[in-house]
Amino acid sequence: MSVKSSSLAGAISPTIPVLVCMFAIFLLSGMDAAMKVLVIAVGVYNTVLWRSMLATVVAGTGWLAGPRSLPSASVLKLHALRAVVGSTVLLCFFWGLARLPLAEAIGLSFVAPLFALLLAALLLGERIQRQAIWASLAGIAGVAIIVAGQFGQKTYGEDALLGTAAVLASTVFYAYNLILARQQALVAKPVEIMLFQNLGVAVTLGLAAPWLAVALPSNLWLPLAGVTALSLAGQFLMSWAYARAEAQYLIPTEYSAFIWAMALGWFFFDEAVTWTTLAGAGLIVASCLIAARSNPKLAEPIEAAV
C-alpha cells in the first residue's frame, strides 16, 4: 500500500484537511496580491526572478537538511522541462495580473483544469468523457462573459485585453505544467521538486539577467520575503491536505480564492467587481466542478502543482 493510500485510510474525516486547504488558499491569495504590488513596482521579470532565487535558497536548505540523492539524468531533464514551462506560466500570469483586477485574473485562471483535461487526452491518451466536453463549453462561455464585460467598461482598454490574453495563455501552459507535475511526483520527492523547480526558473530567467535584471530596492526585500514565505507555506499546506483527503473534497475549496481575490483587490487596490466577472467566474467554477467528476487528479488546483 502506498504512503498516500495509508494516510487516506487513516483519515477519520476530511474536515481538517479541508480547513487546512482553505487556509493554504488564503495564504496563496495573499501571495498573489503581494506579487501584484511587486510587479507594479519593479516589473514581472525582476519580481519572478528574485522570488525564484530566494525560494531556491529556502528550498535548498530544506533539501540539504534531509536525506537526499542527486536525481538521474532523465529526472533532471524532466525538472528542466517543467522549469521552462513554469517560467512561462509565472511570467504570463503575473504580467496579466498587473493589468487586471485581482478577482478577474483569478477567475480566468480557473480554466486551467479544463485545459489540463484536454491535454491529458492529447498527451496521455485519456478518453474525454461527455461531461468534460460540456464542462469545457461552459468554461469557454464563462471566459467570453468576462471578456465581453471588459468592452462595456470605460476604464478598460487595450492593456486590459492584453492582460486577459496573458492570463489565458498562462492557463494553457499551466495545464501542461500540471501534467509534468504528475510525472515528477512519480520520480522525485516534494522537497526535491520544490528545489529544482525554483532553481530551474531562476536559471531560465537568469539567462536574460545581463539585459533585464535590476537590483531590488531595499524597501522591497521584506515584501519579497513575505511573498516567498506565503508561496512555500501555501504549497506545503496544500500538499499536506491532498495527502490526507480525497481530491473530491478538496477541489471545491480552491474556488474560495475568488472570494479572497475580491476582498484583497477591494482592500488594497480599490477594485470593484463587475457582475460580468461574477457571472463568468461562476460558470467557470461550475464547469471545473463538473470536469473534476470525470478526472479528479487532473482537476486539482494550480497551487498544488506549482
pLDDT for position 34: 92
71 within 8 A of 196, measured Cβ to Cβ: yes
Q: If you average pLDDT over residues 183-206, what whole number do you get? A: 87
Q: How many helices (H) and strands (E) does the chain have?
A: 14, 0
pLDDT for position 304: 43
131-151 in b/e form (b: 16+ CB < 10 A) is ebeebbebbeebbebbbebbe
Number of domains present in the structure of the chain:
1
170 within 8 A of 93, measured Cβ to Cβ: yes
Is there a domain that residue 196 lies in? yes
Choice between 255 and 5, residue whose per-residue pLDDT is larger: 255
Question: What's the grid cell of residue 231?
Answer: 508561496
Output the 3-class SS for 246-285.
Answer: CHHHHHHHHHHHHHHHHHHHHHHHCCCCCHHHHHHHHHHH
Choice between 287 and 101, residue whose per-residue pLDDT is larger: 101
**Where is average pLDDT lowest: 43-47, 178-182, 207-211, 259-263?**
178-182
Is there a domain that residue 218 lies in? yes
**Where is average pLDDT lowest: 81-85, 161-165, 297-301?**
297-301
Confidence at 11, pLDDT banded by 50, 70, 90 = very low
Mean of the per-residue pLDDT values of the chain: 81
| CA nearest neighbour of 243 among 185, 306, 188 | 185
Residues 226-244 have pLDDT tens digits of 998 998 888 788 778 877 7
Beta strands in the chain (DSSP E): none
Which domain, by its residues, includes 265? 16-299
Is there a domain that residue 61 lies in? yes
Choice between 122 and 277, residue whose per-residue pLDDT is larger: 277
Is there a domain that residue 93 lies in? yes
pLDDT for position 35: 93
Is there a domain that residue 304 lies in? no
Query: How far apart are alpha carbons 286 and 255 in whole angstroms?
Result: 10
pLDDT for position 276: 84
pLDDT for position 239: 74
Query: How far apart are alpha carbons 165 and 13 in whole angstroms?
Result: 41
71 within 8 A of 247, measured Cβ to Cβ: no
Query: How far apart are alpha carbons 208 and 221 in whole angstroms?
Result: 21
**Where is average pLDDT lowest: 19-33, 123-137, 168-182, 232-246?**
123-137
Is there a domain that residue 6 lies in? no
Choice between 269 and 304, residue whose per-residue pLDDT is larger: 269
Question: What's the grid cell of residue 141?
Answer: 462561455
Measured in degrees and rounded to the nearest 5, phi and psi for residue 149 equal -65, -30
- DSSP-assigned states of every residue in 148-171: HHHHT-TT--HHHHHHHHHHHHHH
Residues 245-267 have pLDDT tens digits of 766 667 777 778 888 888 898 88
- Cα-Cα-Cα-Cα dihedral sign, residues 256, 262, 263, 265: positive
Q: How many residues does the chain have?
A: 306
Query: How far apart are alpha carbons 174 and 168 in whole angstroms?
Result: 10
CA-based max dimension of the chain: 58
DSSP designation for 128: P
- DSSP-assigned states of every residue in 39-60: HHHH-HHHHHHHHHHHHHHHHH
Query: How far apart are alpha carbons 278 and 107 in whole angstroms?
Result: 8
pLDDT for position 76: 92
Q: For the chain, what percent of residues have pLDDT higher than 90?
A: 30
Residue with cell 468576462: 146
Residues 40-78 have pLDDT tens digits of 999 999 999 999 999 999 989 988 887 878 888 999 999
Other beta carbons within 10 Å of 64: 10
Is there a domain that residue 86 lies in? yes
pLDDT for position 51: 92
Is there a domain that residue 306 lies in? no
Residues 120-161 have pLDDT tens digits of 777 766 676 777 677 777 777 888 888 777 666 655 567 888
Choice between 163 and 127, residue whose per-residue pLDDT is larger: 163
Choice between 299 and 142, residue whose per-residue pLDDT is larger: 142
